[in-house]
Amino acid sequence: MIDNKYGQISGGWLAGCEQVASPNCGARPAGAKVELVVVHNISLPPGEFGGPYIVDLFSNSLDRTAHAYFEEIADLKVSAHFLIRRDGDVVQFVSTEDMAWHAGVSQWRGREKCNEFSIGIELEGTDTHLYTQEQYARLEEVIRKCRHAHSALEDDAIVGHSDIAPGRKTDPGESFDWQELQSRLGVEGLPLG
Measure the CA–CA gap between 87 and 150, rounded to whole angstroms: 26
Quick check: bond before 172 cis, omega within 30?
Answer: yes
Closest CA to 162 of 37, 40, 78: 40
Which residue type, as a one-letter code, is found at position 149? A
**Per-residue CA distances from 107 to 3, 38, 72, 112, 165 (Å):** 32, 11, 26, 4, 7
The values of phi and psi at residue 162, to 5°, are -65, -25
Amino acid at the residue 61: S
Which of 35, 116, 122, 140 is the catalytic position?
122
Alpha helix segments (H runs only) across the chain: 53-58, 70-73, 133-149, 161-164, 178-185
In angstroms, the CA 29 to CA 33 distance is 9
Within 10 angstroms of residue 185's Cβ, the number of other Cβ atoms is 18
188 is catalytic: no
Active site positions, annotated: 122
